[in-house]
Each structure stands twice: as structure tokens, then as C-alpha cells.
Structure 1
């Protein structure tokens, strides 16, 4: 079985950056289907469409995310890698920490966690 932590930083970032950009784009559009398309099965189970829809509707943070983000670093642990981003918002001042957790599921790289703090 392939373990993502064995990939180089460059290989991981080539996967992570487009996935993060998609999460920002589809969060702004409140597009649940596109937002969750790279989620691992376990992540999908915890992100049902109704609850995600409520979060998109209630949270100002999930809309108007700036499309420019800054890569901060990565952490390898077990069978997952966490990629950290500095994320800005177009209507709120300040910066947020974006966390993207990637790993393999059925030989494909999937999202096992995605949060904004």
C-alpha cells in the first residue's frame, strides 16, 4: 500500500494546492457536490449535505474566501500529511489557518480533513 508521507514535498504540494483551491472555490459557491468530491469516505460520512448546507448558509467565513492563500508548511504523521495554509477573507479582516489532511484511500489521494481556524 502506498503511503503519502513517502512522497516528496513537491509531489504532495502538486496534489494539495489544487485541492485547497477547489475547496476555497466551491465553499465560496456553496457547491456541496464539488466541495466534497475529493473527500475520503470517512470524511463524507461526517459531512452530510444537509449539515454542510446549514454551515454554508450560517457561516460568513465559508463564503468570500480569498483565492490567494499562502502555503505555510506540512506535517507528516502515520499515513497522512497535513498541509497548512494562511487563508484570507475578502470581507473580514485578519488571517485564518487552513488545514488540509491528505492520505490514500483505495490507491487515490483523498481529503481526510479540511478545516479553517
Structure 2
């Protein structure tokens, strides 16, 4: 199945809860729950030591505002990217949140996630 066969509304209904969980578990520093919906290939490529440092020391990663502004979807191949405007509780300004979704073994998984 290709996630791009879904309507925008169907994708958004999947994407928003996944994004909200990423923010919640990032703020809590709960690495195990943060990566729970990551694709197998994304998990293989992660440097767990660096991720652990990020959770422990990043003001941004540990202080994200839970409210988000959805900016839109970008469809490409077998993946869709959901874009969010993100704010931080302790740093002024705005960041771009990006989450790439697709199917893996019949289930929607996160293939990339970042904040710029």
C-alpha cells in the first residue's frame, strides 16, 4: 500500500497523533517511546549515543510547545512529509518540524523526523 493513496484528511488523522507523541516523549526524554513508531531502516541508522545526548542536553528537544501549527503535506513516491511550525518554551522563535510517513509491513511508520 502507498500512503499517497490516502486523502489529505486521512493522512492528517494519522500524522497529528504521531507528531504529538514525538513532542510529548521528546519533552519527557523518553527515548523508548519516542522511537516506538520509527521504521526499521530509521532505527538502524540512528546513533543511540547521540540521540541520548540530545535528549539529555538539548533545551529545544526537551521544551517543545505541545500546540502545533500544521503547515501542509508534501507527497513524493511512497512517502508523505507532514510539516509543522514548532515553538519552544525556553527559546524565542519558531522552527520547522518535519515528519516523513510511509507504510512498512502494512503499518504507517515514521521514516524521518526533525526540527530545523
Q: What range describes the TM-score normalised by the shorter chain of this pair?
A: over 0.9
1:21 correspondence with 2:17: no
Displacement of 1:24: 0.2
Is the CA contact (8 Å cut-off) linking 1:72 and 1:86 kept in structure 2? yes
**Counterpart of 2:89?**
90
Contact 1:43 1:113 in 2 (8 A): yes
Match of 1:100 in 2: 99
Residue 79 of structure 1 corresponds to 78
Q: Partners in 2 of 1:47 and 1:56 — Cα distance?
A: 13
* Structure 2 portions without partners, runs of 5+: none
Aligned partner of 1:39 in structure 2 is 38
Point out where structure 1 has 5 or more consecutive residues left out of the alignment: none
Question: Deviation per CA, 1:19-46, whole angstroms, max 9, x where unpaired?
Answer: 0000000000000100000000011112
Q: CA deviation at 1:59?
A: 1.5
Return the alpha-carbon distance in structure 1 between the equivalents of residues 94 and 22 of structure 2.
Answer: 17
Shift of 1:58: 2.5
Residues in 2 aligned to 1:18 and 1:108: alpha-carbon distance in whole angstroms: 15
Normalised to the residue count of structure 2, the TM-score between the two structures is: 0.97
